Chains A and B, each alone.
Chain A
Amino acid sequence: MLRCSGDPLPGAAAGAPATASVHEGMPSGTSSIGGVFESVSRGAPFETETHEALGGEEAVVGIEDFNLSYGDTQALFGVDMCVPRGKVTALIGPSGCGKSTLLRSVNRMNDLIDGVHTDGRMTLNGDSIYGRSVDVIELRKRIGMVFQKPNPFPMSIYENVVYSLRIDGVRDKQLLDEVCEESLRGAGLWDEAKDRLQSNALRMSGGQQQRLCIARAIAAEPEVLLLDEPCSALDPIATGKVEDLIDELRGHYSILMVTHNMQQASRTSDYTAFMYLGRLVEYGPTGDIFMQPRLRETEDYVTGRFG
């Protein structure tokens, strides 16, 4: 199994040596040169501050020296990180820092945009994501994604949930029914929706729609679940429900989540990654990132002194 390690990702190194490399990977520690941001904006090479705690985790998604550019504008610079299995990982950072871009790189949604170039390695359970022989459609079937704005399809609740099975050509009514119920239960929507499965999904409230999208995403039993600011379009009560849901999904699913809301990150996630200007600045257990970050810049951001 791949382990999460702070340093150049799995590849050849696996098992014990990887754990060792965590310590090698963070020699700078808290004593890092005063201006990480300055060096970043200068374009100077810089090392991500990855906490050792991650070394004990098993990686679902591994990202290694990943670069991405939209045409001439580079959006991600040498990102090294892993998404631990069964845990909730939050990506935080100021607007435009590349959180969403990184998230959308995992299921290659960026392919839909003209002029995107990528470089580096990304793996899903050891399988290459950007390899030349990868079938994007098959890859996306292994990854679930929930978007910023609830985007239920213009069809019934039932059909929304089983959409990914439908496109696989599943006709077995019993199986579809089972998956529908399971997913809606998983998304905490079953009690509200069971009596109106055939009614139009667009008639639900915003919060329900977003949980429906989550149900749709988990119906295909994804290996990793990507949440792109799932609560930013919701009111506080709906937000609370979605957060509770994320809490329940913890353990069953590996979740990578982008959020603008620092409290949300601290409430819901196990690990937090702080990004800035396309770089991954600091990555570690949520408690550490918020209570005792190693970099002053991270502290400034999480305490609201900037950003």
Chain B
Amino acid sequence: MLRFLLRRVALAAVTLWLLSVIIFVASHALPGDVGRRILGPFADPRAVATLDHSLGVDRPLLVQYFDWVGGLLHGDLGTSLSFHTPVAELLLRGFGNSLKLAAVAFVIVVPLSIFGGVIAALRRGKLLDRVITVGGLSATAMPEFVTSIILILVLSVTLKLLPISVQVPPDTDPLTQIYHLILPSLPLVLVLFGYIARITRAGTIEALESDYTRTAVLKGLPWRTVVIRHVLRNSLMPTIAVVATQTGYLIGGLVVIETMFNYQGIGQLLFTAVSQKDFPLIQAGVITVGVIYLVATLLADISYSLLNPRIRLAGRE
């Protein structure tokens, strides 16, 4: 068990290091002249040189890389070029806001998709199964801005059920805040529903066909008990893994949703950074996204192995 965990952590560290190289290469080496990119093609060469110098981008690439990574390791993410505030502060605030939005999405989608997946598996091949499977597949494939348009039109403009605006006065009570976050979280729910329901369905079907389920049925347990005690416990394990890996997609979706609804989270921050060519913010923002993904998958692996004795004991060779 311990060896398994250590190996996973080591792999994550290697991945993180490679990620830092990729981000550095993409954002420092590719643009060539950073100052020129920021100031535009008609700027005075002297102004470009001055900006390059003050940004430190006229130094050798290796020096810049170690300087940047050193800063990251000390928690110094640099200063944003467009907001003129420390990047760490911006990211922390954005991360908090995104977390609220993502939490609302997860609270809705996890029970819903597990329920959907289990129902689909129990009614395999029937109409309800086809509706959930094909509907989930289509919803998953739909870009968030397309589903947002349709949801805004139906839920806000026509039925007037949910507010479009996410802007609420800061002193509003939490329930109203959550109420305003429901509409922007629904496109994320739709994307995630298909994935999670599909994995839950597959896991449930496998559990239903297993010998232990047959034994439980044959020894006369009521069907409800079989499903809850024997099938669900096993079928939900893969679901945990998939929920964690979806955090990656979730952040991609947040870029669109937050930009569209003008919600100040990490996604909108990334979008602003990219459109303003705010390189310190881009670099730190992207590596934060990578870290979130790696931590989530690591936690998933750990909880998965804690739940699954086959993995938990495999390390004891």
- A joins B in a complex: no
